[in-house]
Amino acid sequence: MPRPFVLILALVLLALPASASASPEQVMTFEARELLDDASRDRTLDEIRAFGVKRIRVLLYWSRVAPQPSSRARPRFDAALPEAYPAAGWAKYDNLLQAARSRGLEVYLTITGPAPRWATKARRARDGITDPRPEDFKAFATAVGTRYGAQVGLWSIWNEPNQPQFLRPQFRDGKAASPGLYRKLYQAAHEGLEKSGNANDTILLGETSPRGNQRVVAPLAFLRGTLCLSASYRKRGSCGVLDTDGYAHHPYTTSAGPSFRPPNRDDVTIGVLSRLTQALDRAGRAGAVRSGLGIYLTEFGIQSFPDPSAVSLTQQAEYLPISEHLAFLNRRVRAFSQYLMSDDDPRAGGERYGGFESGLRRSDGRIKPAYAGFRTPLAVTDYGPSDVGWGLVRPAQGQTSVDIEYRNRGARSFRKLQTVMTNAAGVFAFRSGSSSGRRYRVRWTAPGGEVFVGPPIRSYD
């Protein structure tokens, strides 16, 4: 019997006690560009909070805060002191952290590039991502930690450093170069956060993208390079243990869905999280990092219509809860995430939808089916004669009841299948006889009387 079936069936038979979660510490994180826009910040925070989300991710861009970011010459100022930076550079972050805190939302801060031009070794490059200087990054991290340390307890260093649009060079003479650059940047920022009084906070390594190619270093190859490990996970050189509290990763999949298994064993999408778990375990045994590191899936979404190469809106609403369920089943996963609230605006020219269409809303604000599904995610697995469902009432403040409804093929309306109780975290499960073409959905009545109905969901093998 497949392991996920055993786990979900156990939830059903145990009537979902509070301790039944496969990953009891998993926290949903939400990232939305609207959060750094003063005009949409408060509305978006309220929307995120209404979903039942308790944490937001914010990328703090070095060049947006630094003085004279386009200058080749380094300005004269003490870069470790937050008051030495232009106040306008901090303003959007100050406002966002204050607004989030007033709503009881935790802020997870990623300190990242691009760097100001004067803080790169390749000053002729104007991109701010080619050879950033670790010593300057340490000073900046010290300033960030000093300014926001009292409001932030979870940090990560540099966004997607295995991608050439965020860190260069990725390769030198055919060999991966970005892992070595990143190790120095990570160590520098870690020291800066410690220096600013945040040594006891959770500081994450990685923030890697899911797949590699000739331009992108595959995430597990990047991990090994950062930790000075050979392809067989043997320690090389004089590298010591890297001090980190967890590993952050972005396990995006393809239009093939959550079950997609990349042929490159160094790639990690949502369907093959065990590859990352095993790699971290081998790194721990090699003495490169502490053993048993938690995994934080800090950026994830399902690309959907109107991107012509993406999945339908219906599939997006189905694939998101399946993906969250896969994360839930992995006890090492400490966080899952949703990126974005709204799709990127269409681009002018040929590739009109070349950005991210992973939002819960269209770029014009129209709600997708996944919007309702995000509040009450439901994943149903087909086990032949039985369908087994896993779900979550995200806004629940404790144990609550939900109605599971179904509609058979050819039927016009949904009927009630059963009422189930969640555990204290809002998680529930159910089992039903299988029927070809059947659709399921969740109906939940909030304590205040408002009724929320999820989108129709198919069962998947």
pLDDT in tens, 333-380: 999 999 999 999 998 877 888 899 999 999 999 999 999 999 999 999
Is residue 203 within 8 A of residue 194, CB to CB? The reply is no
pLDDT tens for each residue of 288-299: 999 999 999 999
pLDDT above 70 as % of the chain: 94
Look-up: residue for tokens 């309306």? 413
Mean pLDDT of 130-149: 99
Side-chain-facing half-sphere of 453: CA atoms under 13 Å: 7
Question: Rounded CA gap, 357 and 255, in Å?
Answer: 12
Q: What is the mean pLDDT of residues 247-255?
A: 99
Under a CB-based contact definition with an 8 Å cutoff, are residues 104 and 51 in contact?
Answer: no
The confidence band for 22, taking pLDDT boundaries of 50, 70 and 90, is low
Higher pLDDT, 394 or 19: 394
Where exactly are the structural domains of the chain?
Answer: 32-299
My answer on whether omega of the bond before 86 falls inside 30° of 0, hence cis, is no
What pLDDT sits at residue 400?
A: 98
- How many C-alpha atoms does 89 have within 13 Å on its Cβ side? 20
CA distance 245 to 153: 12
β pairing state of 333-339 and 27-31: parallel
Res 124 pLDDT > 80: no
Residue 10 has pLDDT above 50, yes or no: no
Residue 94 has pLDDT above 60, yes or no: yes
Question: How high does pLDDT run on average in the chain?
Answer: 95
Per-residue model confidence (pLDDT) at position 23: 63
Q: Rounded to whole angstroms, how far apart are CA atoms 379 and 372?
A: 14
For residue 11, name the pLDDT band (cuts at 50, 70, 90): very low
Q: Strand 294-297 and strand 451-453: pairing?
A: unpaired
User: Residue 449: CB partners within 8 Å, gap ≥ 6?
Assistant: none
Q: What angle, rounded to 10 degrees, do the helices at 87-102 and 41-51 form?
A: 30
Buried (b) or exposed (e) across 178-213, using 16+ Cβ within 10 A? bbebbbbbbbbbbbbbbbbebeebbbbbbbbbbbbe
Mean pLDDT of 195-213: 99
Q: Are strands 427-433 and 439-445 parallel, antiparallel or unpaired?
A: unpaired
- Percent above pLDDT 90 for the chain: 91
Q: What is the pLDDT of residue 123?
A: 62
Contacts (Cβ under 8 Å, ≥6 apart) of 277: 295, 330, 332
pLDDT of residue 348: 82
Please provide the size of the chain in residues. 461
- Are 310 and 303 a contacting pair, CB within 8 Å? yes
The verdict on domain 32-299 having CATH code 3.30.2010.10 is no
Q: Which tokens belong to 96?
A: 């966002």
Please determine, for residue 259, whether its predicted confidence score (pLDDT) is greater than 90.
yes
Q: What is the pLDDT of residues 380-438, one digit of tens each?
A: 999 999 999 999 999 999 999 999 999 999 999 999 999 999 999 999 999 999 999 99
For the chain, give the secondary structure using H, E and C.
CCHHHHHHHHHHHCCCCHHHCCCCCCEEEEECHHHHCCCCHHHHHHHHHHHCCCEEEEEEEHHHHCCCCCCCCCCCCCCCCHHHCCHHHHHHHHHHHHHHHHCCCEEEEEEECCCCHHHECCCCCCCCCECECHHHHHHHHHHHHHHHCCCCCEEEECCCCCCCCCCECCEECCEECHHHHHHHHHHHHHHHHHHCCCCCCEEEEEEECCCCCCCCCCHHHHHHHHCCECCCCCECCCCCCCCCCEEEECCCCCCCCCCCCCCCCCCCCHHHHHHHHHHHHHHHHCCCCCCCCEEEECCCCCCECCCCCCECHHHHHHHHHHHHHHHHCCCCEEEEEEECCECCCCCCCCCCCCCCCCCCECCCCCECHHHHHHHCCEEEEEECCEEEEEEECCCCCCCCEEEEEEECCCCCCCEEEEEEECCCCCEEEEEEECCCCCEEEEEEECCCCCEEECCCECEEC
- Band (15; pLDDT cuts 50, 70, 90): very low
Residue 125, both tokens: 């490059």
Handedness of CA 214, 135, 79, 117 (dihedral sign): negative
- The answer to whether the CB of 266 falls within 8 A of the CB of 211 is no
Q: Say how many C-beta atoms besides its own lie within 10 A of residue 459's C-beta.
A: 22
User: In terms of pLDDT, which residue wins out, 20 or 413?
Assistant: 413
Mean pLDDT computed over 10-27: 52
